[in-house]
A and B are shown apart, each in its own frame.
Chain A
Amino acid sequence: MQRKKTKLNWIDALVVLSIAIFVIVIVRRVESVLNYTWDWSKIVPFFIYVDRETGEWTKNLMIEGLLMTMRLAVYGIVASAIIGVVMGLCRISSNLFLRMVARSYVELVRNTPPLVFIFIFYFFLSTQLMPVLGIEELARSDSPTVQWLIRILCGDPVLFSNFISGLVCLSIFEGAYITEIVRAGVQSIPRGQWEAGKAVGLSGFDVMRSVILPQAVNRIAPPLANQFITLIKDSSIVSLISIQELTFMAVEVGVSTSRIFEIWILTAAMYFVICYACVLFFNWLERRAARARR
């Protein structure tokens, strides 16, 4: 691509003018019509406050929510990557039955709205699957080690089964997208690699493990990193099934303080900072990997 020289011209005048008009209209409406007074200080205690009894700084709802979002994202990407790899390999298997199953899974998940999927699946999960798995019992277990582990890894044990169902919903949902990433990655390896692997006498499994997958990983990694960011964003949807992550907490705080403008602007900013930081980090990693390959 040729690099065009950027310069100020009539487009800039137009853009600046429309932004200025937009801002003026908003400010006027907020001040005169809605009579809204900004008060950011009321929000702060919902992030961090000084405990009256202990006198220590303690994290509050918003930080708890943020932690929950990060847990969902990190565990979610691991779980959905596992689902994605298994289903992705089914998707390209020579076994037609496996191909049909994987295809149905992907098409079903990708063609229903995320919201509808989460509602259906959560309903199914909470009424049928969770009791069978005995998650509730585990959360109510008396063993201090179990309680401690749950607290460290998943937050409040009271909400453990709730957390698990949110996580499962999210992982199965994202898994469908990762399935396609894995399939595309493996299929992007030229046929000649398969043939050469077979011709030197490797079994199908060995060709996959030693020749195809190591090459596919390089092509899968960037879209997978991207999917991680998508997962952070999509995790906000599970607030609708009462998983207490960042968005859920923002709704709560908004209702209880009525500092609605501040809390939503701040929440959006928090998501933006996290996601954008991930983007920069992954870009940096990719550039470094590209340099190492040279």
Chain B
Amino acid sequence: MQKPIIKLRGVCKLFGQFQALYDVSFDVKLGERVVVCGPSGSGKSTMIRCINRLEEHDSGEITVDGIELTEDMENILSVRREVGMVFQQFNLFPHLTVLENLVLAPMRARKLSRTEAEKTAMEYLERVRIPDQASKYPAQLSGGQQQRVAIARSLCMKPKIMLFDEPTSALDPEMIKEVLDVMIELARDGMTMIVVTHEMGFAKTVADTMVFMDHGRIVEVAPPSTFFTSPKSDRTQLFLSQILSH
């Protein structure tokens, strides 16, 4: 049995009075593709945001690639460099060109030279199929293009793990496919991925493991074959019937 690269043990998270995560325990192995789904407010986003410590968990234990997430800033920084993240709202840096967006972190955090960083950046722009947009500003691109730039930006740090926080929710329908295609390709190359999404077609294609969350708890963990055909929990069944009916 392979050792897990991400390990969550009894993780709890409170926002004031509201319990966003309740005793979440969960493992991800190297190369595993996990799709997390559930109704809004169920704690999916909070969980993956805890993995690179954009949110601090209140209790429990999170270990990423052998490093436990504590208050130690050095540890957090090295985890963040191993873990890429793609946001719902893209969050590209609007004052920088596409290329500058991509080289910023490799140059500052990995101390690469500009030429090296730009070379890697162009490679990843090729992979997300927009090398010709390198000198444009984010505001000049379509939503789908912006999200692909955001994916390339994360990849430039050569992360071992990629987190996707509803990457297609803010996109117009005709742009969703171009982003999902890039993600599918990434999955084929063996990237460890955790994806929060409502795109069940995508989940069926790439997921090794499906996770269903509700009210801050993990309700069900199963491979897609059984998850979609014979979910154990009633809540999962209800959720799936609602989301798949249209």
Contacts and interface: CB of A to CB of B under 8 A. Distances in A.
B106 to A, nearest CB: 9
A195 B89 CA distance: 11
Nearest to A192: B91
A196 B109 contact: no
B95 A215 contact: yes
A161 to B, nearest CB: 43
Interface residues of A, number: 19
B244 interface: no
Interface in A199-217: 199-204, 206, 210-211, 214-215
B109 A200 contact: yes
B80 A200 contact: yes
A202 B87 contact: no
A195 B150 CA distance: 13
B105 interface: yes
Interface residues of B, number: 25
Contacts of A198: 52, 54, 80
Contacts of B92: 196
B84 A199 contact: yes
B77 A203 contact: yes
B154 A195 contact: no
B77 to A, nearest CB: 6
B108 interface: yes
A200 B77 contact: no
Contact of A193 (B80, B93, B110, B157): B93
Contacts of B148: none
A192 B85 contact: no
B157 A200 contact: yes
B94 A200 contact: no
Given A211-B93, A215-B95, A199 B108 contact: no
B54 A199 contact: yes
Interface in B60-109: 73, 77, 80-81, 83-85, 87, 89, 91-95, 104-105, 108-109
Interface in A74-116: none
Contact of B81 (A195, A197, A201): A201
Nearest to A205: B108
A217 B77 CA distance: 26
Contacts of A195: 54, 87, 91
| Among A195, A197, A198, A200, residue most surrounded by chain B Cβ atoms (within 10 Å) | A200
A202 B73 CA distance: 11
B7 interface: no
B13 interface: no
Contacts of A204: 73
B153 interface: yes
A203 B109 CA distance: 8
Interface in A203-257: 203-204, 206, 210-211, 214-215, 218
Interface of A: 190, 192-193, 195-204, 206, 210-211, 214-215, 218
Given A192-B89, A200-B85, A202-B108, 19 more contacts: A190-B91, A192-B87, A192-B91, A193-B91, A196-B87, A199-B54, A199-B154, A200-B80, A200-B104, A200-B109, A200-B153, A201-B81, A201-B105, A203-B73, A203-B109, A204-B73, A210-B104, A210-B108, A215-B93
20 contacts: A195-B91, A196-B85, A196-B92, A199-B54, A199-B84, A199-B87, A199-B154, A200-B84, A200-B85, A200-B105, A200-B153, A201-B110, A202-B105, A203-B77, A203-B108, A204-B73, A206-B108, A211-B93, A214-B95, A218-B95
Question: What 8 A-B pairs are tightest by C-beta distance, nearest first?
Answer: A196-B91, A201-B81, A200-B105, A199-B85, A192-B91, A201-B109, A201-B80, A206-B108
